[in-house]
Amino acid sequence: MKKLILSAMILFTGNGLLNAQNDSNIGLMFGFGSEIDRFAIGVIGEFSIMDNLSISPNFLFYFPEKYHYITNNFWEVNGNINYYFINNESMGVYGLGGLNYTHASVKADFMGISDSDSEGKFGANLGGGFKYHLSNKFAPFAELKYVISDYDQVVAMIGMKYKF
């Protein structure tokens, strides 16, 4: 199942690259997950497939948290579709929906004894965003989404996209 979802995301991304209407972006972002209460850093792409529609794959890595001898790690991969309600030369306002895969792992190391466990869960994203076209190449943006899965949480992100 994981391979099928990953293959579909790659296919959609490739299709977006082929059909991009000179409105493709790549960028860096910083985020915060409400339930795990952690900051994150990530990368985002956005590839136009129609006038007001784009696909937006992204990867978000949450900073690890250590409790004495236990370390927790989280990361997520998303494949979203953005629909622009407003999309002009100065700004864009959009709603988003898509797929989410969140991976959690824990590692314990106590007095020379180590153990680890991990799991991943699929879910859905619902949210929206705003980007401001600072120039013809750079656009700061903000997104807010709700992840619906076993790892339910609100994720807020800000960042900068580069148009190529």
Give the chain as a 3 state SS string. Answer: CHHHHHHHHHHHHHHHHHHCCCCEEEEEEEEEECCCCEEEEEEEEEEEEECCEEEEEEEEEEEEEEECCEEEEEEEEEEEEEEEEEECCCEEEEEEEEEEEEEEEEEEEECCEEEEEEEEEEEEEEEEEEEECCCCCEEEEEEEEEEECCCCEEEEEEEEEEEC
- Pairwise pLDDT comparison (15 vs 45), residue with the higher score: 45
Contact in structure between 113 and 134 (CB atoms under 8 Å): no
User: pLDDT grade, residue 102 (50/70/90)?
Assistant: very high
Position with higher pLDDT, 22 vs 157: 157
The model's confidence at residue 111, banded by pLDDT at 50, 70 and 90, is confident
Question: Is it the case that residue 13 has pLDDT exceeding 70?
Answer: no
Judge contact between 159 and 139, C-beta under 8 A.
no
| pTM strictly above 0.75 | yes
User: Domain spanning 2-163: which CATH class is it, in words?
Assistant: mainly beta
Residue 104 has pLDDT above 80, yes or no: yes
Residues 59 and 42: their CA atoms lie apart, in Å, by 5
Checking if the pLDDT of 18 tops 90, the result is no
Model confidence at 64: pLDDT above 80:
yes
Q: Which of 117, 119, 126, 128 is CA-nearest to residue 150?
A: 119
Residue 6 has what pLDDT?
52
Predicted local distance difference test score (pLDDT) of residue 113: 87
Which pLDDT score, from 0 to 100, does residue 17 have?
A: 45
Residue-range domain boundaries for the chain: 2-163
Say if residues 157 and 147 touch (Cβ distance below 8 Å).
Answer: no
- Which of 127, 121, 157 is closest to 142 using CA atoms? 157
- What tokens appear for 103 in the block? 């991976």
Terminal alpha carbon distance of the chain = 33
7 confidence band (pLDDT: 50, 70, 90): low
Q: Which residues are within 8 A (CB) of 26 and not within 5 positions of it... i.e. 6 or more apart?
A: 43, 44, 45, 46, 161, 162, 164
Confidence of residue 20 (pLDDT cuts 50, 70, 90): very low
